[in-house]
Amino acid sequence: MHNLRKVLAVLSALTGLFLLLRPAPPTTTVLLTTRDLPPGVPLAKEDVRTTEIPATLAPPGAATPTSAEGRTLGSPAGAGEILTDARLTTADPDTATVAVKPTDPAVLTLLKPGGRVDVVTETGVLAENATVIAVHDNTVVVLSTDATTAARVATESLTHPLAVTVH
């Protein structure tokens, strides 16, 4: 029994030494939200913080302090969430957002923030290459496009059914 304890102690020491000497995995810097944030909020310094995580755990397009500067949150984000560039829009005075309730809500399951769509009505194409900002309750998609196109889509939605095609 005494020898078994010695063997276990040596194995434990070797395991600890191995763990100490093993190189740390590569890391990357990501942005985390510091509190729950609603969509349409321009990011402020107090809304985010940086943290290092293993590079293999970073989502594709993870936002960096540089890529997030001056941008607006396109959909809600919970406290502690890693921000991605697809969730952020540029606060451009020539752009506007418009909510669209497509005639076929099944298309909404195909949409993700950052995706591109066209908006079509029976009279033709109203918006081309609009950016998906958010999908709400699988009934409405919020799109970003130029201000003139957003106004045209909103006006047409009052009297005509609208379809959304996915790029």
Mean pLDDT of each 10-residue bin along the chain, 167 residues long: 72 72 83 88 87 91 82 85 83 79 93 90 94 86 91 95 95
Total tally of structural domains belonging to the chain: 2
- Rounded distance, CA 2 to CA 141, Å? 70
Give the structural domain span for 142: 95-166
What pLDDT is attached to residue 92? Answer: 65
What pLDDT is attached to residue 104? Answer: 94
What pLDDT is attached to residue 151? Answer: 94
Rounded alpha-carbon distances, angstroms, from residue 20 to 9, 23, 62: 17, 8, 30
Query: Domain for residue 122, yes or no?
Result: yes
**Same-domain status, 47 and 108:** no
Residue 152, H or E segment: helix 147-157
What pLDDT is attached to residue 51? Answer: 94
**Same-domain status, 79 and 105:** no
Rounded alpha-carbon distances, angstroms, from residue 82 to 49, 50, 102: 10, 9, 30
**Same-domain status, 64 and 105:** no
The per-residue b/e assignment along 87-107, b for 16 or more CB within 10 angstroms, e otherwise, is bbbeeeeebbbbbbebeeeeb
With beta carbons less than 8 A apart as the criterion, state whether 66 and 94 touch.
Answer: no
Query: Domain for residue 7, yes or no?
Result: no
Rounded alpha-carbon distances, angstroms, from residue 118 to 71, 95, 122, 143, 161: 23, 16, 13, 10, 14
Q: In one letter, which amino acid is 12? A: S
**Which of 90, 107, 139 is a domain's end point?**
90
What pLDDT is attached to residue 127? Answer: 97
